[in-house]
Structure 1
């Protein structure tokens, strides 16, 4: 009875799976006959359904490619980037493809959106110099005032991190004026409040305290009027900072302390860090060193959690080092010396051109360390000169060696490129013919089974199923209704390749033909080409291409474009 039930259950599951597959196939067919506008509407309607929106985006892109419509292709890449927002590699790859494909055909929407998306991605990941690069490219690539305005806001926030305060204020004033003209304060309340907060901060950084206070009070009133509790407390924090710079230290402490509970509730570590920093500075001005120390140490604790800190807050570490030095506590001093060195490395990595930012009150540990190194280096001057001479000689010979090596390598690459161009489809992967008895004997398989597998492999190749991702020996054996041992033997014997090399060869030969015939593919990034032919990433694609053809795909495309 149990066995009968089990068989019935398995049969039910099999029927259900077949029906689901059939429905999915029907859905795909029904989508493929729809026009671009319908597909766009469907994509936006089903954004939350990741599988359906992915199918729609892929079909949209396929249609665009078949019609060789660059703008529609860019839109397809944009939809795919939205679906793959959580996958860093794919998200950046699709935005790169938008940029590459619209270099010569700019629109109101492209490539500005791709640069903006990349700018936001790098900002979120605290790679500010990369974020800045992409926002600047976004501004250059659009004439749309609305897009420019949003990007200017982002640029302004970045300028504050780079201590470019005049530029910060200029950008925020432009953004504020545009928002007022277009009545955004009513249409986009939160966005307008964030502009007021940034504008007040920009005036304060330019030592225009009265203007900072004016816009802060407007923001505070608007927050209450629109029932925005968090923004109300952001403006309380800003008021506290303004009071500090107006030397009203006790009022500053009261205002900041009122703001902190709501900022903690919002888990806004950046502004919480800022609040503690100004509490520390206020208590320092009131000559309460212990209180000041506790708040500056809180700033460090928040940095440990968030892995991000505004460059303004570096000053707090100098206070802590100085405090422990004066209290003759070398262990604690050393702890914060090391933390400050780590912090400077963080700034160097994430900001790059920030070295002239800081106005240091005293020699930083880095400079002290450098001074010691200079003293040591003077003692070793003679030895150093000898080493420098030897190093120079090595550099000269290395330059000659690499020059010759690169010249030879270019010649070899050029020859290989010409050989690939001369290849025809007949030269590609062939099935080796063997004597019937010899085959059966070597493979230990009946001829009927061999012929059956070969025929199915032929269908697999003709149907270009090798372009699908995640194909394994096991999955292919199942789809060909054989086992991995038989399939592996036949491929090894007739194709003279291992399974992975067989799959890679089919994919590489396919993309080479496409690149020769279809100029659109030459605009793709290497990453986008890799995904087109079933590779998971650009590295594995480039390696497979090089192993098969002896040159990199980027070189092959560059040489094709020359022709």
Structure 2
């Protein structure tokens, strides 16, 4: 549960702006494609949606679509281009609310990559901008994101008092949002007590969260998960299972790993191992769709699947995923977040903003140390996994070398997911092999191979330069565009293709 809620807040954040009927045709397609994880179709719809917003000179809509594109695109070059667009439009618009939304989206992406420290910095910047914009929902989203990181990193000593004070201030200045405020804040407190196994206080704050509310379960359903976890820890296994199974349709995809895993544990306790295994497999399937994000129960999940699975290739795949979640304490290991005292806003501005500063300073009190003090230099311990892991690692490394020797990288539709399928492994483990064994990311490896291939071809056949256009040369090497082709050469040889070929021919 910890952390996965951030994606849900990202979902809410992007739709917190009013939706114009002009764009309904795009919204109606985006949601189903997102739910099916059909990223190619989703990208096409985003491009059309963005073009319409540009045509109408609707900068707010442009920013919203760009944030969605940034979230779903995994290629670093594409992400960099989108960030430049976001920054350019936001600066021209001079809208703090949009700036807050941008920082929040980027922070969420960093969180899902496991870079908690960078995510924390971005959420803090987003909170600053949300306060300056007097944006209640933005403040709540960032407060919960920050407390989520504290919970993930076991640095949560002062979170509950902070949340109580935050709620008091939010209710004072946003009385119309009182029920929404208390729902999210009290549920965060309930989760903290749940982590401490203080079930009575966890249940108490969960009850406070939902008291007096008429809940739309499609938006407000975290209390169902919290209630199920409380039941599970109290030994009410049937109740824990049933509360989730009966509400499966209301949970956003990002919450399903926690939901499925909790059901699996309850079923195991009820002595229904086959049904339990089925939900463990469902948990794995959703994590694969989400590209293996931070998941508190990841290690336990794959230890269970490794132990229960008999078929060797599937078992080996689960060992790879177990390795991923074992080492994917990621940048969380040694993250010792301290506090620094800050002053966020000029006290001469409106009383509302001054009051908000009070609870913000309360949270960041004593945080006067530098960012470097946040991280203690500890090495991540290498997990103690069976000898099979190293054997699989080496086999995959050899398979990648063979794949490369056949020049399969020239296929311009190749992706990490398609290569993982071809090599009968998963994207998380394959990505780790590229970074660990090859020393570069998958995308950089592919672009480097393509550059080296084209240089070799030109050396052997110099007339290619005069016989083919730049577009034809790019396509010949597997690049999808001139921009990608030129950028790859600049990164790998420090020159444009034309400059480099003039030198060698």
Q: What is the TM-score of this pair, normalised by structure 1? A: 0.43
Q: What is the TM-score of this pair, normalised by structure 2? A: 0.48
Higher relative contact order (CA 8 A, sep 6+): 2
Which has more helix, going by share of residues? 1
